[in-house]
């Protein structure tokens, strides 16, 4: 059963990822990205990270992809990138070599370092559906709000800075609006 | 023999994450639309998140899931700021490719 779930989710992830990089239309690339994000959420559930799976669907597949689609619509949906031409000579073969080399290095590190993967933490509580308590969410909340509470507060500052900075970046100044009206 | 290998171990998840990271790298290197390059960066972030969750289960340590939470927050902030920059740049331009942004070229 877990094998079946893994294969289906892996197919979703890989098909979506390949779709992101080969689709010339940005809307199609964004929808392929949704497929990949759902596949990652399925693998989160398969590994008992239930809260992160919910956040993955809500924040990534919900908010971030909608933001992408919104910007695509704002800038014009008809701007299709021409993928037939290659502006820099031998860019794609070099990119393929770099990507495959990166995958090779990572896989070699995983294979060689798999002996070092032994349990060292206090343990992860597995959610028990019969009692109705979500142990994963409780344990994650205890970790965030006790040990990492300072980092959690700093992320709120980060989000406020991001919002203010984006408003400043994206708004039109009054002089620009006046020039456009002339 | 075959039946034993049909249970996905941590190595399967980690190799899948590595392949996803490589696809994202290829996209960032090849694509010229800044929006699609951003999507490829999201692919790479998701690959890292997947390996974090896998290692959290493998090492039996909740801190791996905690850091995924923070990565998601920072990714959301990064997307907001990046898309704001793209909108600010592209508003006065007709072209969309990253190759056209060459004002600082020596």
- State the CATH number of the domain containing residue B51: 1.10.287.3510
Best residue of B69, B92, B97 to probe chain A, by most A CBs closer than 10 Å = B69
Express each pLDDT in B55-90 by its tens digit: 998 888 888 999 999 999 999 999 999 988 888 887
Best residue of B11, B17, B25, B95 to probe chain A, by most A CBs closer than 10 Å = B25
Structural domain contains residue B2: no
What pLDDT, on a 0 to 100 scale, did the predictor assign at position B33? 85
What pLDDT, on a 0 to 100 scale, did the predictor assign at position A121? 67
Query: What interface predicted TM-score (ipTM) does this complex get?
Result: 0.88
Cβ atoms of A8 and B14 within 8 Å: the answer is no
Mean pLDDT of B22-40: 91
Nearest to B58 among A56, A96, A117 (CB): A117
What pLDDT, on a 0 to 100 scale, did the predictor assign at position A134? 77
Structural domain contains residue B70: yes
Helices B34-59 and A2-22 meet at what angle, rounded to 10? 160
What pLDDT, on a 0 to 100 scale, did the predictor assign at position B95? 66
Structural domain contains residue B100: no
Mean pLDDT of B20-49: 92
Under the banding of pLDDT at 50, 70 and 90, the label for residue B2 is very low
In order along chain A (182 residues), what is the average pLDDT of each group of 10 residues? 90 95 90 94 92 92 90 76 73 90 92 77 68 79 92 94 90 70 66
> Which residue matches tokens 């031409």?
A85
| Joined tokens for residue A179 | 């020039």
| Joined tokens for residue B52 | 């974090």
Structural domain contains residue B48: yes
Express each pLDDT in B7-19 by its tens digit: 778 888 999 999 9
Structural domain contains residue B101: no
Structural domain containing residue B63: 8-92
Our count of domains for chain B comes to 1
Structural domain contains residue B1: no
Prediction pTM value: 0.88
Structural domain contains residue B47: yes
Structural domain contains residue B44: yes
Dihedral sign for Cα atoms in the order B76, B82, B88, B94: negative
Cβ atoms of B17 and A39 within 8 Å: the answer is no
Q: Chain B window 12-41: which residues touch A at a Cβ cutoff of 8 Å? A: 12-16, 18-27, 29-33, 35-36, 38-40
Nearest to A21 among B26, B57, B83 (CB): B26
What pLDDT, on a 0 to 100 scale, did the predictor assign at position B59? 86
- Backbone dihedral angles phi then psi of residue A155, each to the nearest 5 degrees: -65, -30
Comparison of pLDDT for B89 and B99, the residue scoring more: B89
């Amino acid at each position: 059963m877990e094998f079946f779930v893994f294969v289906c989710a892996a197919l979703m992830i890989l098909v979506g990822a390949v779709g992101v990089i080969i689709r010339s239309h940005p809307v199609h690339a964004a929808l392929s990205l949704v497929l990949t994000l759902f596949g990652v959420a399925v693998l989160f559930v398969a590994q008992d990270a239930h809260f992160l799976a919910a956040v993955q669907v809500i924040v990534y597949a919900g908010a971030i992809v909608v933001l992408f689609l919104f910007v695509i619509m704002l800038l014009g949906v008809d701007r299709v990138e021409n993928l037939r031409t290659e502006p820099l000579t031998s860019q794609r073969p070099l990119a393929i070599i770099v990507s495959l080399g990166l995958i090779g290095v990572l896989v070699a590190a995983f294979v060689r370092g798999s002996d070092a993967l032994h349990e060292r933490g206090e343990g992860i509580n597995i959610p028990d559906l019969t009692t109705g308590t979500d142990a994963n969410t409780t344990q994650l909340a205890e970790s965030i709000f006790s040990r990492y509470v300072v980092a959690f507060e700093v992320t709120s500052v980060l989000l406020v800075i991001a919002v203010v900075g984006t408003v400043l970046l994206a708004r039109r100044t009054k002089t620009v609006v006046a020039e456009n009206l002339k | 023999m075959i039946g034993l290998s049909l249970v996905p171990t941590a190595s399967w998840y980690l190799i899948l994450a590595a392949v996803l990271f490589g696809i994202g790298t290829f996209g960032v290197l090849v694509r010229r639309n800044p929006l699609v390059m951003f999507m490829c960066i999201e692919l790479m972030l998701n690959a890292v998140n997947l390996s974090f969750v896998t290692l959290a289960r493998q090492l039996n340590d909740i801190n791996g899931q905690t850091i995924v939470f923070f990565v998601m927050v920072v990714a959301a902030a990064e997307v907001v700021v990046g898309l704001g920059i793209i909108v600010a740049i592209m508003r006065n331009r007709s072209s969309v490719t990253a190759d056209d942004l060459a004002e600082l070229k020596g």
